[in-house]
Structure 1
Amino acid sequence: MMATAAATHQPVPEVLPRHVAIIMDGNGRWAARRHLPRAAGHRAGVEAVRTVTRAARAMGLEALTLYAFSSENWRRPEDEVSGLMGLLKFFIRHDLAELVRENVRLRVIGDYRRFPADVVALVEDAVERTAANTGPILAIALNYGAQAELVAAAQRLAARAAAGGMDPAAIDVDAVERELETRELPPLDLLIRTSGEQRLSNFLLWQAAYAELLFVETLWPDFGAADLAAAVDAFGRRQRRYGGL
């Protein structure tokens, strides 16, 4: 069944951001505090993904972007990376039908094609099966790094200009944004990071230029519908001036 505000027992805030992004941090610490292996924290993190995505739909957000696997995460132990791949496959296999049913459009940003072939096939099938949906967007960042995204955008623009396809003087903010992987998403309004860390960790650096930033102490596996509602409520109380008065 489609989640509703009543189902999550959370009132819908008066002022909604169109696009919320979350750096899902703290799975390892969540597990360590419970004397559990890190894999248990990642499994709990998947449950939090399920809870928060449903809450976002119930709230009426247009887009939710989740930082699931960064380009730096390859530095983690091989067994942990393998476990994360397994959880990604688990999420797609168990939640895709719900995303299709609830009219969610799944998008992926990042170089996910570096993943194992079976993971790539699952991801591409999931994106294709939701492509015709017209509802909210769920964007998953997989093997994503904002610096690499910006470098690639600059290279494409430079190549076009060198080939005479565009005037270098015509390269402006809009031209760059059309080259970004988030070009189909609304502008980013609110970026949340869980676990108390206060840095962007190479996530949506361009897109966050005028986003509201919110750093919360809650570890990701404990972040739920009430936490998302509180974050959106805090967003609604801020004054966004975009450099003006």
Structure 2
Amino acid sequence: MQWTDDGLILGVRRQGETSVVLELFTRAHGRHLGLVRGGRSRRLRPTLQPGNTVRATWRARLDDHLGAFVVEPLESRAGRLMERADALHGVGHLAHLLRLVAERDPHEALYDAAEIVADHLDDPAVAPALVVRLELAVLAELGFGLDLSSCAATGKRDDLVYVSPKSGRAVGRAAGAPYAEKLFALPPFLVGSGANASPTGDDVAAAFALTGHFLASRVWEPRGIKPPDSRAAYLALLGRRGGALA
């Protein structure tokens, strides 16, 4: 068995004295592990860092074996991402999100989204909004996508300002007004004509509250796992700086 694919590095763990087990999120083969012989060498260590993208060739005698990777660097981001605490926590959270999908299950659109996020994690102007959108994308890939296209009560597509915590559907201003305290705010940058707008700090905070609720209720709690420390640390930095990671 053999294939070659591009992959975003999620993690590395030591295997023996000189090798590592590399965890990649690949474009066509999903989340995949493999042995890299000599992965702890001075030559390979800079390449095998979370957040980098490599071209990997995987070989194994049988498809269900761990197999071995031979890699070459494509995009070396780790060095610059390590220079910012928020970007470093962002890499950890990115890896956590991608580990929520089944191993070896391809998600090409999610791979493309993850690459965009990784490229911009050290850009405080855009990174938080991209991370939120990746959380929404992961929820959708897991079958828990939110429906933000129209009002759950009226079917109208304008003036959507709330989200139901039960259904995950958008709710219009008028329809949701009597229940506003029980609904999540829907930030304009996540829907409709505001999708290309620059979010405020309050918008970003509201978006993370929204995605955090559905990740907890539909993914983390049913699987018996705790919310990742990397997400909490990322949001803590965001909060201390007023929603802008400057």
Band the TM-score falls in, shorter-chain normalisation: under 0.3
RCO higher in structure (CA 8 A, sep ≥6)? 1
TM-score using structure 2 length: 0.22
Considering fraction of residues, name the structure with more strand. Answer: 2
Which is higher, the Rg of structure 1 or of structure 2?
A: 2
Considering fraction of residues, name the structure with more helix. Answer: 1
